[in-house]
Structures are given as structure tokens and as C-alpha cells.
Structure 1
Amino acid sequence: MRWNKIGDYLGLGGVAVILVGLVSYSVHGVLTTAITATLVAGLALVVAYGVLNFREIRSALSSRSTRFGSNAVLMSLVVLGILILINFVANRHSLRADTTAAKQFSLAEQTRKILKNLDREVKVTAFYRAEDRWQIESLLKEYEHYSPRFKWEIIDPDQRPAEAKQYNITAYNTIVLECGGKQERITTRTEQDLTNALIKVTRKENKKIYFLTGHGEKDIEATDREGYDSMRKLLQGENYDVEKILLAEKDHVPDDCSLLVVAGPKTDLLPNEASMIGDYLKKGGKALFLLDPESPDGYVTLLKEWGIEVGKNVVLDVSGIGRLFGAGPAMPIAAQYAPHAITEKFQLMTIYPYARSVRKAADAPVGATVTEFVKTSSNSWGESEPLGRGGMVRYDEGKDLPGPVSVAVAMEKEAEEKPTSSGESGQTRTKTRIVVFGDSDFASNTYYRVQGNGDLFMNAVSWLAEQEDLISIRPKDPEDRRVNLTRSQSRLIFWVAVVLMPLAVLGTGAGIYWKRR
């Protein structure tokens, strides 16, 4: 009897020790030596229980109740086996679905595209404390899901200080990306910042973009409503070097210019500036023009030579779609996009405050491919008369340009002249590429976040800079979906959810009990 008592204690202790080992394994995720020893010790105690209580166990197994119970145990084991099989298949072939309205748990198209096109291994080391690793772990797993070349590790700098010192980590929540000898670090855990860092470490060269100045163009350092400071930051985030250029001080467009941007000029080009831009384009240069209705005619003449006709009008849209955004007829919205690399898989609306028409010229030069890739609705037109103050607007047939109206054009043509220098990048320009928008405000600080405005601008830049793999819908900042409640609404929710509903359940239970009694 005494040995049986000891055996019972050993059995209970063995089960407890095994549970401790299983819990430790689930917490750490690694089968360490200590955890293995714990599981073996627990199993030994259970075996000892079986040896000391062998007669009682055999007697219990041969009893009538055990025989009936064994059927239930067998069925339970079958069900458990089926569940294990289902879980194994689901783990090997997982089905992923994001049911949130803003798809906040899904990676953006650009991120997926970059990951799938990785041709080199990228190592990501995140320095997070053990209790904070959950903040970044799920995002890194999402990235890994789309590319086996994306390798990541989370290190607790307090537990592994030598590695933290090796990377010169001075703050928690620092993420280091490494690829091909290049290193980039960020201290935020958003998809946008992580993807931008990924672009920087995987690009072999930095493309340089020059914004023309001296003619009242949009300022890339201005933070006001009309400034382009936000666009500059987006471009720099995708590893472009962005600078201003005053061509009047130069004798030619710099050889390292991957793209020349002319955004909203208010005065005309000087003759030597127009000549320099013309020569640059003939040698396979790339240019982006964003011309407002009040932009001077010199730009119109320059672009006409490349088969692009910039209209002398203002595009009006009376379809009523603009009312969804609080806009009037002078702020047309486009949802029609012609097939082109810039608009590949692009299905977002774009809005153009006070725009002019841009279309293919009837006498486009031989060899030039001109595509009208953005058009407004059929209820729009190009108004040729100046807009009056608060006056009625109407379409005048034969005088105004009928809709749908093209507000953006892309042109591609073989270079007319071989460049004297291939530039710093060492790549000889072979094709001239030009994109023209009939509005510059759509990419300003005020409107670049509206629908797909920023994405379309960046896609045009990617095509012009010959980085088509970046053409996509980019990651967005996390959306704030909080609901703000008044004090009375908060009180109402408290009384309904915390007081009345529990009382209703208790009252129902009490009523049923009283009735049955």
C-alpha cells in the first residue's frame, strides 16, 4: 500500500513536470537541452508510476467500464488525428485572407512585386526586446512569405549585447537591412519605411532627378499647399537623388540627369534653356512636364515637336463625380486609363484641380509612340473660353474640345543623336521618353494623397527613369479608423453593454429557474 501511494505521487509529479516542459517549449519555441531534460524526467516519473502500480493498471484495463470507455478514447484519438492532419496540411498550404476594409494586414502591390523580383539575399536584423518582438515579427513573416531570399532575425540587444555593439545599436526597435555590401537602417516598423529601405539596399545605383527652377515652378522644399516637399520625400524614399537646377547658369543639362522635371512653370524658357532641353531630349533624355492652363506657350511649342499637343483650354467635368470629393466642374476626375506601363494594374481614381487637355498631335513625328493614358469622363470637355466668376458653363460644339478629354500623355521614341557621354551611371541613353500632365497641382502637398494621385505620379517617374519594376500601388500610412464618441454616447454604451445586457441575462436565467421550480 505504501509503494502504491508513492507511485501515485510519482505519477502526478511526472505529469506536472511534462506540462512544465511543454509550456516552456511553447514559450521559447526552441527545444533546448534544459527543456529536453525536463520532458525526459517527467516521462521517467510516469514510467515509475506504471511500474509501481502495474497490478492496479492491469485490473482497471480489464474492467467492463474500461472496455466501454476505450471506445470513447479510440474515437477521441481518431478525431484528434484528423485535426492534426488538417493542421499539418493547413500549415504547409496556408490560405491567407485579409477581411479588413483598408487591407491593413496585406502587403501593398509594390512590396510584393519587389520581393518576388529579389535576385539577391537580403538580411534583416531587428533589434527588439523579447517583450516587444510581436510588434515587428508578423510584418517580417509577411515579407518572408513572398520571397525565400528575404531572411530575418529578431535580436534582443539586452540578451545579446555583443551583436548589438557590432551593429552600433544605440536605441531599441532599430531594424538593419543588408544586401551586397550595402546597409540601411530604420527606426520605424511601417511597411512603407521597410519597403523603401529594401529598395535602397537592393538598387545598384541612385538615379538623379533634377527639378527645373527659375520660372516660378513648384518648389520641392516648400511645405505649403502648392509645394512639392511631399513628392520630394517620396522620391528620396525610393532611392532617387533629388536636386534643383537653374539651367540659365549651365551650358547643358548635366550628364548624370536621369530625369528632368518641369512642374507648373509661370514664365517662359529662355532661348538657350529651350535649346539645352531640346538637345538633351534628342540624345535620349527623359522629361516630365506638368503644365497648368496658365503655363506659357513656349512649352507648348517645345512639346509639339515631339508629337504632343497641349490644349489652350480648361477641362470641365459636369458628371457629378467630383461632388464626392467636394469638387466643382473645374476639378475633373479620371477613372479611364489606356494600356501603358505607367497604368499597369492601376484602377484608382485621380483628380486634377484646374487642368488643361494634353493629347497626341495629328502630325506626330515618325517613330514616336504617343499614348493618351489618362482621360476624364464622357461628361467633360475642354472649355476654350475664360471661366467667369460663378457663371454658368456649357459645352459649345465646334468650339470646345469634346470629352472624354485626355489630360496626360506618354511619348517614347528612339534617340535622334548619340550622347557624347553616357553619364555617371555608365548607361547609354537609347530612347527619348516624355510624360506630360495638364496639371501640376494634382501632385502637390494638398492633393498627392487624394485617391491615386501620388501613385500615378510615382509610376510616371519610374517609367521615365527606366525602373519599371517599381510601377505599382505603393504602401500607405496606417489608416486611423478610431471612432470618436461624445460623453453622452460613452455613457449610453456603458449602461447598455456593462449594465443592462448582463442584467438581462441574469434576469432571464432567474425567470427560467423560478418557473421550473
Structure 2
Amino acid sequence: MQKLRANSDFILSVGLIGVFVPLIVYIVTHRFNIFGQIIFAAGIVTLGLYVGLEYQRILRILGGRQVRYGGNAVLMSLLFIGIIALLAFMSQRYSKRIDLTANRSFSISEQTAKVIDNLDSPVKIWAFYLPGDGGQVETLLKSYVARSRGKISYEMVDPDARPTLAQQYGLTQGEVDVLVLERGSRRQKVTGSTESDITSGLVKIARDQQKVVYLLTGHGEYSPDDTSQAGILLAKQALERDNYIVKSLNLTTGVTSTITATTGITVSGSLTGTTATRQFGRIPADAAALIVVSPQTPIPDGEWQVISQWVNNGGKLFLLQDALEGPSGLDDMLLVNWGIRVRNDLAIDPAGSALGDPATLVIQRGGFSPITKDMRSQIILPGARSVEVPKDTTQGTTFTPVAQTSDQSWGETDLANLNAGVRYDPTKDTRGPLNIGITVERDAPGGAKARLAIYGNARFVTDRWINSGANLDFFVNTVNWLTEDEQLISIRPRPPAQRTLFIPPTDANVISLGVVAGLPLLVLGLGAIVWWRRR
């Protein structure tokens, strides 16, 4: 007993270490495994042994003057520590993040929120990053976890430390900076680290089947294969991020099922059929939508018959047609079957234009539509024509204007003299507001819904314009609506804003001179002043 009492201070140190080390590990890792529990229990027993050995010393210390006078300070310190601990606990259970960055860099977009809310099963995200490289993506993943309410979890993995796990999830040797999303038995590999990349991966893994949209070709339409600013590669990539498969469709080449145009067909009072036989392809059965982007030559009669049949049976058609171009070839179909007329004019809006050009429209109004209801930015439409809808609609058909000009606008019809200036002519021009984009829905056989989106502008989807204003959302939301994917309609994540500080050469020289000569001279001047005063 005397030997134990002689080593009581050491016993106290061991007991304190045994108690506090497991507690600190638990606070840091939120884990309290069996090994930590054993150490904690041993620490408690050791502290009990110390109390049994030195109880008289403890009583004497507790009854001393310093303890009595210092009790108040100890009590206040414990109260302060308790308040801090309570705040820490509350912050863990009820956290609230506030993003004060200009472009909301640390906040998820509305589309991401909708995708997360629509998840029907848990998703585990494996982040394969080297230590020290995954800080930014981990911050973003925490935003996903916070929104998901338990639907999403993540784990940071060092692929060098755990090569077997990396290989199990499809990574090659040396491959890093990769996310693997896992939902049940399905996996989706994501090589990017932006919100757009992660959300696109979530959309893909959440869907059990990809929908296919077709781009009509063969008439000089805008093409995703065109890598210039006049191409629509970015539009195609945006659809693919929403988990669509985008394919090209040429109705005049090698498709098995055919329609033979051998009989006369009356269209707008004119006989267009001939006795010559020509075969046209069909629209594939897996087509969720057909997109026609500004054909430069009219679509032949036989092709629009194929399209008309398909739409009337529940198909979804998206026609975009610029001003100052000829007819699309679908004009007769739209007028006869739907009562829609795409006017041959140029929309002019002095009250809603951009870049000093009254023909570059800034759209701020439209009917209530799921396509535009959440948009906070404006739609920029360069060189648009107006779309006329029938005054009397048939039962079961719904027309919705989604993009309209202001009351001060008009449809300029003197297109041959635009260089001389534009002026409203009440005898020829249509006074605004003008419909630039409309959607139409009609009941089809078998309980299906035929849907149309007719926009008097196509340039806004080109690579030159698609990232202006809300153009990207306007285009992709329209495809979402056509394919009955309304749950995807939202505001999409934007790429990180690149803010470049440009310093003119004169200012750069002044700054350099100030750093190289100004600061040393300032220090010398201050030193001289101090020396002079102490002299």
C-alpha cells in the first residue's frame, strides 16, 4: 500500500490519460470502438484507485482556503465550457450554412435539389482522391449530404493506400480524381468534380432507362458536329448531362419501314402529290422527342407526312426556326393540323432588346409554364420571328405562350430593306406583344399526349448564344417538358465564374515601382523621422 501511495501521482496521470484520450478521439472521429471503451474503463478504475489511496489528501485540498475562494472561478469556467459544448452539439444536430459568395459557389442549384429530392433509394459516393487534393470536392459533397437527409453519403478514399478498393470500382492503376456513384447494384463513374458533373451522374444512376431524342438532319440544320460557334455541340452535351441519348435522324436514307408518296395529298388547298414513287424512313419507336433546328431547305412533303403521323399519334416535336430564312417545310402541317402559323417577319422590340440591337430580344414575359416558371434570368433571342396561334382552339388542345415580347414590339415584314432601318407599319406589321415561343398539348389515341414546342428562333441554342442569360435552361427545360420529364425542369448549375483582373501596363508599372522602390523608401523615411526625434 505504501508503494502505491508513493506512486499516486503517476497513477493519477495514467488515469487522466485513460479517460481523456478516448474522449478526444471520439470528439474527432465520432467513433468509440471496443479498444477505446477498454482504455476509458481502465482510466476510470485507475482514478478510483487514486481516490482510495489519497482520499485524505483530497479532502484536505478541498477544505483549503484556495479551493473555497477559487470555487467560484472554477464554477464559472465549467459553465462556460458547458455552454460551448452545448453550442457545438447543437451545431452538429441543427446546422445551417450561409453562402455569401457572389456566384453561390458553395450552394447547390435548384436542379440538383430536385434530383436529390427525387431519389428513391440511397446513393453512396466514393471519392478517389489523393490526400490533400479533394478538399474542394468534399466541400461540395457535404452540400449534397446536407440536402439529401440521409439519401446520400460519401467516403474519401486514397487510391494508393487502398488499391484493391479502387480496382474493385473500376479505376486503373494511377487513376485519381474520380467519383464513383453507387446505387444498389448500379455504378456511375464521374471524372469531373463540378456540381454539374456530380448532378449529371446522379440523374444517370437514378434513371433505370435512358430516353432518346433525335436531331433531324438532311436539310442543312444546325449540327452538333459543327465545332464552330454556329454549331450546337454544347446543347447536345447539356442534354446528355440530363441522361438523354442524342442521335441524328435522316428520314431519306436506309430505314426499313417506309411510306410511299404516290397519291395526291391536299395541303392548304394545293395538290402536292405526284405519281413518282419515293420512299421515306420512319421515326424510331424509341424516340422520346424529335428536334428540328432551323432547316435551311424545306422539308419535303413525304418527310413531313411521316412527322405529322408520328405527332398525331402522341409524338413530341420541337421546331426552332430563325427569322430571315425560308419556310421550314413543316408550315403547312402546323397550319392545317394545329392552326399554328410561323410568320415570315422579324420581331423588333425597342423596350426589350440587348446589345443596342432591337432585333436581339430580351424575353421577360410569357404564359405560366413549367418551362419558365423558375427562371430568374432573361432569355436572349437574336433574330427571331413571331408565331401565331389560333383564336379558337379545339377541345383537348392547350396552347401556352412561353416567350413573348413587350407591348412596344412589332413584327417587321419589310425584310428586303432592313439596312435602311426598321419602322412600324400598321398596314403590314403585327403589333406586339408577339409570341416568340409556344407549346401545344393535345390528347392522342391510346391515352397518350401529343406535344409541340414551336420557337421562332434557333440561334439561341448555338454555341455562340446558349450560355447567355437563361438560354441553356430554356432549351433543356423545353426538352424535359416534351419528354414528360417535368421533374428535371429547373435552374441548372453554372460553371464557376472566371474573374480576371486586368491591369493596364501603366498601372502595372506604377505598382511595380511602388513595391520595388516605394516601400523601401517609406521604411527609410520612417526610420529617419524616428532617428531625428531621438537625436
TM-score (norm 2): 0.82
In 2, the alpha carbon distance for the partners of 1:154 and 1:373 equals 44
Q: Find the aligned partners of 1:505 and 1:64 in 2 and give their Cα distance.
A: 54
**1:497–1:166: structure 2 CA closer, same or farther, 3 Å change rule?**
farther
Partner of 1:467: 485
The answer to which of 393-402 and 439-448 deviates more is 393-402
Count of matched residue pairs: 498
Q: Structure 1's 382 and 341: CA in aligned 2 closer, same or farther, altered over 3 A? A: same
Q: Residue 255 of structure 1 corresponds to which residue in structure 2?
A: 285
Aligned with residue 235 of structure 1, among 221, 236, 239: 239
C-alpha distance in 1 between matches for 2:113 and 2:523: 47
Please say if residues 299 and 328 of structure 2, whose CA atoms lie closer than 8 Å, have aligned partners that are also in contact: no
Report the secondary structure of 2:463's partner residue. coil
Q: Does 1:343 align with 2:347?
A: no
Deviation at 1:380, TM superposition (A): 2.4
Q: Does 1:302 align with 2:333?
A: yes
1:399 aligns with 2:428: yes
The answer to whether residue 105 in structure 2 is matched with residue 74 in structure 1 is no
Q: Which residue of 1 aligns with 2:441?
A: 412
Q: Hey, what's the Cα distance between the residues in 2 that align with 1:243 and 1:459?
A: 19
Query: Is 1:156 paired with 2:158?
Result: yes
Equivalent positions of 1:20-39 (< 5 A) are 24-25=25-26, 28-33=29-34, 35-36=36-37
Query: Which amino acid in the other structure matches residue 127 of structure 1?
Result: F
Maintained 8 Å contact 1:226/1:446: yes
1:440-451 equivalence runs, <5 A: 440-451=458-469
Partner residue, 1:282: 312
Deviates most, 406-415 or 387-396: 387-396
1:196 aligns to 2:200 (yes or no): yes
Q: Which residue of 1 aligns with 2:301?
A: 271
Contact 1:308 1:409 in 2 (8 A): no
2:308 corresponds to which letter in structure 1? G
Mapped partners of 2:59, 2:526: distance in 1: 49
**C-alpha RMSD of the superposition:** 3.6
**Residues 123-169 of structure 1 deviation map (CA, whole Å, 9 limit, x = unaligned):** 32222344445343332222222222223333333333332232232
State the Cα distance separating 1:297 from its structure 2 match: 5.6
Aligned partners of 2:111 and 2:492 also within 8 Å: yes
**Partner Cα distance (2:454, 2:521) in 1:** 63
Matched, 1:91 2:92: yes
* Mapped partners of 2:462, 2:110: distance in 1: 23
Distance of aligned partners of 1:502 and 1:131 in 2 relative to their CA distance in 1, 3 Å threshold: farther
Deviation for aligned residue 1:121: 2.6
User: Structure 2: 5+ residue runs without aligned partners?
Assistant: 254-279
Q: Which residue identity lines up with residue 341 of structure 2 in the other structure?
A: E
- CA positional deviation for 1:32: 4.4
CA distance in 1, matches of 2:61, 2:46: 20
C-alpha change, 1:118 and 1:251, in structure 2 (3 Å) is same
Query: Which SS does the other structure have where 1:330 is aligned?
Result: strand
Q: How far apart in 2 are the matches of 1:483 and 1:257? A: 47
The CA distance in 2 between the partners of 1:88 and 1:471, in whole Å, is 38
1:190 & 1:27 partners in 2: Cα distance?
28
Cα deviation code 1:391-448 (max 9, x no counterpart): 3322233432222322100000011x55xxxxxxxxxx71110001111010111111
Q: Which amino acid aligns with 1:267?
A: T
Q: Return the offset for 1:340.
A: 1.2
> Counterpart amino acid of 1:303?
L
- Counterpart-to-counterpart distance in 2, 1:69 and 1:506: 49
- C-alpha distance after superposition, 1:360-385 (max 9, x if no partner): 22354443211111112333221111
- What is the DSSP-based 3-state SS (H/G/I as helix, E as strand, rest coil) of the residue aligned with 2:491? coil
Paired with 1:111 and 1:300, the residues of 2 have a C-alpha distance of 38
Query: Does structure 1 retain, via aligned residues, the 8 Å contact 2:111–2:493?
Result: yes
Paired position in structure 1 for 2:408? 379
CA contact (8 A) 2:108 2:493 kept: yes
Of 189, 195, 211, 1:207 maps to 211
Code of the residue aligned with 1:356 in structure 2: it is R
* Range that drifts further, 128-137 or 432-441: 128-137
d(CA) in 2 for partners of 1:506, 1:58: 62
Within 2, Cα distance between the matches of 1:254 and 1:112?
33
**Match of 2:388?**
359
Q: Tell me the TM-score normalised to structure 1 length.
A: 0.85
Distance change >3 Å, CA 339–CA 42, structure 1 → 2: same
**Bigger mean CA deviation after superposition, 98-107 or 141-150:** 141-150
Alpha-carbon distance between aligned partners in 1 of 2:514 and 2:38, rounded to the nearest angstrom: 52
